[in-house]
Structure 1
Amino acid sequence: MASDSQNSPFIKHLASSDKTTRDNALDSLRTYLSGRSQIEELDLLKLWKGLFYCMWMQDKPVHQQRLARDLASLIEVLQAGVVLPFVECFWKTMAREWGGIDALRMDKYLYLIRQYLNASFRYLSRDRWSNIDGITRVVQILENIPLHPTDMKIPNGLRYHIFDIYVDELEKVGGEKMEEVPREKLLEPVRRIQKESKVKSVRNAAKEVLDDERLKAWRGEGVGGDRDEEMGEHGDEDEEWGGIED
């Protein structure tokens, strides 16, 4: 992006309260990004500020979810040299703006984060997970920004949400070919934060991710143990227990 004077109208259109204006700006952005082989970090951060407020202004859940998917799909049109800087600036923006997101707007940003984590994994899966440099860089981005183990500027709420969705999104992307997914490498940010975080609740949340039974199953480890035997003896009479009734 050439200059502030050229950037500001474009970003203002992305953050417009008018849906048609925002949609047209997003279409223009998709065309613009597809033609760039390199974009400076400062310009990407300015762009992501505009995209953040584009989401901020979007109302109605169905439109919010569509916009989140559209923003995540931008990764698909980016040239190779722009993809990971673009993703990195997304995480920097979310970490910076998290504290200002009110409760009424939080759900749409949680969905946007889910879409971006999924899109990052899908990008790595394009070549059947053979892009070792890309995998290493994505792991570094996660370790250095949203899952940094000790940076107190990173909101724990952001960390907790990533923990909640991490294995889900790996499973969605890996599908029936989880044996091809470099799971242990991609789990390094979670493993590191579980060891190094100074906050007990964060360490515990990371441990829950690492103890996910799906990970054990993908490794070929036994899942369930005694509980499987107990279920065999007593059936599934408690399977649909819905919690404590009023």
Structure 2
Amino acid sequence: MHDSKNALSVQKLIADLAGIVRIMDQKDQQLAPAINAPSQSWLETWMTAFWETLCREWASIDQWRMNKVLLLVRFFIREQFGLALEWAVKQDPKLKDQVARQLRVLEAWPLSPRERRVPDGLRLHVLDVWTEELAGQLSAAQKALDEDAENSDPESKKSILLSLAQEFMEPVRKISREAISKGVKIRAKEAVKLAEEQLSG
């Protein structure tokens, strides 16, 4: 029988995850001035390891832990969107490159149309939460711009945020066309349709 005392604290997991993502981002920013063209992003490396480990261990996750893993994936995606949108308004070319790296990791792992190491169950869950989390983070970022008294041009920055949100939908559009699984294609199309309704300026 499952012992709830041994279960991971979801709230602690969320806090730890957010902290790790922020630490990786800070590490990258500390290293960037020391080298002309950063060839390695610690955040990118950590993200790749996260998805690779999930894919490898997916089949062995028991029913008692699966809900926690699904929550972990949701909050990981939420933190990733939040960080990317935060970078976007800074309009720094190096941070723009970091966003591009994030997208490449996502296209190579959870949103890869044909990568057989990615379980369809994981793909489906990512697609389930993708648009909801993206729309939520976009709304929060836009609200923050409105509330920032020092921001002289919120509409311009909102346009940048919306453009980035659309970029994050591109892998979903691609998987809706190219996925091997019919179920994954259908779920991706649903996510795209939801994005058309929810992602607005």
Using the size of structure 1 for normalisation, the TM-score is 0.60
| Residue aligning to 1:216 | 197
Deviation, 1:171, is: 2.0
What is the distance in 2 between the residues matched to 1:104 and 1:84? Answer: 30
Deviation at 1:151, TM superposition (A): 1.6
In the alignment, the residues of structure 1 paired with residue 168 and residue 48 of structure 2 have an alpha-carbon distance, to the nearest angstrom, of 16
TM-score, length-normalised on structure 2? Answer: 0.73
Higher RCO (CA < 8 A, seq sep 6+): 2
* TM superposition outliers: structure 1 runs of 4+ over 4 Å: none
How far the C-alpha of 1:201 sits from its partner, in A, is 0.7
| Cα shift readout 1:85-138 (whole Å, capped 9, x = no counterpart) | 111111111111111101111011111111111111122122335332122111
Distance 1:205 1:89 in 2: 25
Return the offset for 1:219.
4.4
Q: Does structure 1 retain, via aligned residues, the 8 Å contact 2:135–2:198?
A: no
Partner of 2:54: 94
Counterpart check, 1:83 vs 2:43: yes
Structure 1 residue 154 corresponds to structure 2 residue 128: no
- Give 1:194 deviation, angstroms: 0.8
* Distance in 1 of aligned mates of 2:21 and 2:200: 30
> Structure 1 unaligned runs (5+)?
1-56, 221-246
The corresponding residue for 2:88 is 128
Task: Please tell me whether the aligned partners of residues 73 and 119 of structure 1 are also in contact (alpha carbons under 8 angstroms).
Answer: no
The reply on whether 1:117 has 2:77 as its aligned counterpart is yes
Is 1:64 aligned to residue 46 of structure 2?
no
CA 1:92 to 1:217, structure 2 compared with 1: closer, same or farther past 3 Å? closer
**Displacement, 1:148?**
0.9
Q: Cα 1:119–1:219, aligned 2, differ >3 Å: closer, same or farther?
A: closer
Query: Which residue in 2 is equivalent to 1:174?
Result: 138
CA RMSD of aligned residues (A): 2.2
Q: Does residue 86 of structure 2 align to residue 139 of structure 1?
A: no
User: Do the aligned partners of residues 58 and 148 (structure 1) sit closer, same or farther apart at CA in structure 2, a change above 3 Å counting?
Assistant: farther
Residue identity opposite 1:59 in structure 2: N
Between the aligned partners of 1:172 and 1:217, the Cα distance in structure 2 is 9
- Paired with 2:198 and 2:114, the residues of 1 have a C-alpha distance of 31
Q: Which structure shows the higher helix fraction? A: 2
The code of the aligned residue for 2:197 comes to: K
Between the aligned partners of 2:50 and 2:137, the Cα distance in structure 1 is 20
Which string of whole-angstrom CA distances, capped at 9 and with x for unpartnered residues, describes residues 207-228 of structure 1? 000000x5335347xxxxxxxx
Q: Does 1:201 align with 2:183?
A: yes
Aligned-residue identity in percent:
29
Which of 1 and 2 has greater Rg? 1
**SS class of match (1:187):** helix
1:72: how far off?
Answer: 3.1
Cα distance, 1:161–1:111 mapped onto 2, change above 3 Å:
same
